[in-house]
Structures are given as C-alpha cells and as structure tokens.
Amino acid sequence: MRAWRSTQPRTDPQRCGANRWRSPVAALALVLTTPGAILAQNSTIVPITQEPSHHLSFTNDWVRVFDVTAAPHATTMVHRHDHDYVFVTLGDANITSARTDGQTSRLVLKDGAIEYAPGGFAHSVANNLERPFHNITIELLHPSTGVTPCTQGCDRSPPCPTPGTCPTIVRQITADQWVADAVTLPPGAKWTAESPAAPRLLVVVSESDIQLAGEYESTAEMHRRPGSLIWMPVHTGRKMLPGGVVMQRMTPAMTNVGQTAARVVMVTWRGN
C-alpha cells in the first residue's frame, strides 16, 4: 500500500448554485529510489512531536492534531508517523515525501484536498514550491480499517428548499470507524447534524464567518481562518442542570453568516 492515499474534492455545479470544489487534479505518486530517499535512510528519525514544522494544536482521546507549515523549498526532518492519519491541504501544494524504506512519492494537491495515510513509517517532506506548504495533520488514535476513497454516491447534500442557500456535502473518504466530508456553505446556508450522538472534528479551509450552535461552543459569531479547528463531542439528548432542571441539548449546527462561501472538512466517527 502506498504511504499516501489521495482523494481530491469533487464538483457538482448544478447543486444549490454553490461554488463546489473542483474535480480531481490527481496526486502524482512516483515510487522511486532517489538521493532524497537515501538521505532519509541515513538521517536521524525524530518523533512527530519533535519535528519543528509540526505544531501540536489539539488532542483528546480520539485525535492528535498538528498544524504543519514548511517554508518554501524547505525539507522537514525525518519524522515518524506511528498512527494512521488524515491531512487537509491549505493552499495548492507540490511536495515530495521521502520514506526511510526508500520510496519517494511526489504529490500535487489542490487547496482543500483530503489525504489519508496508514501509519507505521518515517519520512521527510520537501516543499517544491515558492510558497509555504500548510496542512492540518489529524492523527487517528484508534486503528482504521476499510479505508477507501469515495467513488460513487458521494453527494451527501440535504434537500435544498431554497437554491443558493443550502450546504453541499461531498463524501471524500470512508472507513469502518469514520468518514471524511467536504462541506461548502454558501452565504446564509446552515448545516445541522443528522445525529448529535457522534463526535466530529471540523477543519476550516477558507476564511469564514461561522456561527455555531450546540453545547460544544458558544453560538456567538466567529471569524475563522484556514486551519481553525472545531471539535464537536458526543451529545446526548438531555442534560441535568443544578436543581434538577432538565435542559434539552441543541443539535450541533453551523451557519455561514459571512459574505463568501465557507469551506470546511468534517471528520465524523461512526458507531455512536
């Protein structure tokens, strides 16, 4: 299995009049033996937490999330990925991954691309462009099985009573334990969770003004930059307050209150 499995955002311009993410510009994976791979084999391997480009930004029982930035034409230290992971590319990218087993993979990625890689390897990553390479790396702390890119029935968008103000949701990756979706909210569009009893991690891809609803965070309007994280924990239907008062919990939801489309990647866990 390749170290990097690629899925790219898909498009359906007829749905709700939204600006959907464009069809695949396929990632290029070239398995080669190169001087870069030999260098990786001879380099000291550090834990991901000690690699200077990887900044730990969030952790809980489900995930460990790193905000990763590599300078133009920079190469990271050789670091180990002990867990399966998903990463979300922020901005177009062209990178080369040199593994310590001698494999080298070159990837050309579009802004918002969602990638999956099984853990258990070490590599360095070279940024081939004149701009920084920025991504959010989501380590999955529980094993993943049955991971496949979505190829059929990927449009998960809800019914759209008012064209132009409805969310568009495209399934990108499916696993037995979780799914990853690309969500686009036109101005005024609202997404509401189908079930509150599932944890979710949202990665904001575009500059966005998103109003949140649910106990996980205030409903205040919040400006979000690319790479911002929103964790939505498991919710039950009711909560007991002091004095015996029962409060009905709000269903997790988000509304785009800005003037431009809001793009978000959403990882949802199954079986809750």
Query: Could you tell me which of 204, 201, 211, 208 has the C-alpha nearest to residue 234?
Result: 201
SS3 of 144-185: the string is CCCCEECCCCCECCCCCCCCCCCCEEEEEEECCCEEEEEEEE
Torsion on CA atoms 262, 108, 173, 199, rounded to nearest 10: -50
How far, rounded to the nearest angstrom, does the alpha carbon of residue 164 sit from its chain's CA centroid? 25
**How far apart, in Å, do the first and last CA atoms of the chain sit?**
29
Predicted local confidence at residue 31, as pLDDT: 38
* Number of other CB atoms surrounding residue 125 within 10 Å: 23
Same fold, 5-140 and 148-269: yes
Q: Where are the domains of the chain?
A: 5-140, 148-269
Fold of 5-140: Jelly Rolls (2.60.120)
Is domain 148-269 classified as CATH 2.60.120.260?
A: no
Predicted local confidence at residue 184, as pLDDT: 97
Predicted local confidence at residue 64, as pLDDT: 97
Side-chain half-sphere CA neighbours of 86 within 13 A = 31
Predicted local confidence at residue 243, as pLDDT: 59
Predicted local confidence at residue 159, as pLDDT: 81
Predicted local confidence at residue 1, as pLDDT: 35
Q: What is the pLDDT along the chain (272 residues), one digit of tens a residue?
A: 333 444 444 333 333 333 333 333 333 333 334 445 445 445 699 999 999 999 999 999 999 999 999 999 999 999 999 999 999 999 999 999 999 999 999 999 999 999 999 999 999 999 999 999 999 999 999 999 999 999 999 999 888 777 778 899 999 999 999 999 999 999 999 998 876 667 899 999 999 999 887 655 445 568 999 999 998 887 655 555 565 555 455 678 889 999 999 999 999 998 64
